[in-house]
Amino acid sequence: MIALQGIGKSFAGHAVLRAVSVDIAPGQVTALIGPSGSGKSTLLRCVNLLEQPDAGSLTIGAQTVRFSPGVRLPHAAVQGIRQQTGMVFQNFQLFAHQTALQNVMEGLLTVKRWEPARARDRALQLLDKVGLRAKADAWPASLSGGQQQRVAIARALAPEPAVLLCDEPTSALDPGLAAEVVAVLSDLAREGMTMLMATHDLRLAAQVASHTVFLLDGAVVEAGPSKAIFEAAQDPRTRQFVTTLASG
């Protein structure tokens, strides 16, 4: 169970998130949609504490952390939350100096202190899962964007996170390459991986995600099953935004 309660975040006095609450059941895939600047990415980054919220609380599994302005969480609390999350970035952010295999092994070796042989086995399995075992020894710079993002997904999954956070995972890709990534993410969804993804990609939001949250100016306008949001939204602002996604 992942619960965000009343999350607030300001940058230099400007409120980016206002009392955002989202619940995600285990095995559920939730899409965060909304125009640029609506706070989707910031909200995702609050879940693994790359940004620390100023208000509210966050629960992942058995751990709950509470936020207040100007108070930095203790390192152990941050690590406790982070170790339950994995993150996929819009621009992949593979470690450029490491091969695909080394990228996937990195968290296992450095953070979990696994033996290299064991880490290698798990990394190869994950590369296999995203269809890139043959590229294990390739440098990121020699891979296409879609391949890089699939390696990044394998890297994020390696430490077995309770939730996978995806920040616009297909936005930097042209349609054909985006389709590879959508296919991998939808396989994960079928296997019951809990995911929270900020996206403009209608395939991810309407087809892969079972639930959708519509954010506007840092606040939740409407949340519910994706089908309801995309086909029968209550709020006119949601209906209008969904139309722009469909046409774009």
Nearer to another protein, 48 or 212 (CB): 48
Burial zone of 192 (CB within 10 Å; 0-12 exposed, 13-18 middle, 19+ buried):
exposed
Smallest distance from the beta carbon of 226 to another protein, in angstroms? 26
Other C-beta atoms within 10 Å of 158: how many?
Answer: 25
Smallest distance from the beta carbon of 166 to another protein, in angstroms? 11
Q: Distance between CA 136 and CA 158 in Å, rounded?
A: 14
Nearer to another protein, 180 or 222 (CB): 180
Instruction: Report the phi/psi class of residue 94: left, alpha or beta, with left for phi > 0 and alpha for psi in -120 to 50.
Output: beta
Smallest distance from the beta carbon of 91 to another protein, in angstroms? 6
Question: What tokens does 210 get?
Answer: 């079972």
Q: Are 153 and 130 in contact (CB under 8 A)?
A: yes
Nearer to another protein, 140 or 169 (CB): 140
Smallest distance from the beta carbon of 48 to another protein, in angstroms? 6
Smallest distance from the beta carbon of 145 to another protein, in angstroms? 10
Q: Distance between CA 124 and CA 218 in Å, rounded?
A: 40
Nearer to another protein, 34 or 159 (CB): 159
Nearer to another protein, 152 or 215 (CB): 152
**E-state strands within the chain:** 2-11, 14-24, 29-33, 55-60, 63-67, 85-88, 163-167, 195-198, 211-216, 219-225
Smallest distance from the beta carbon of 62 to another protein, in angstroms? 17
Q: Which residues bind another protein (CB under 8 A)?
A: 45, 48, 50, 75, 79, 82-83, 85-87, 89, 91, 93-99, 106-107, 110-111, 138-144, 155-156, 159
Q: Distance between CA 44 and CA 131 in Å, rounded?
A: 27
Nearer to another protein, 156 or 189 (CB): 156
Smallest distance from the beta carbon of 134 to another protein, in angstroms? 11
Q: Distance between CA 56 and CA 158 in Å, rounded?
A: 30
Nearer to another protein, 21 or 93 (CB): 93
Question: What tokens does 233 get?
Answer: 């939204």
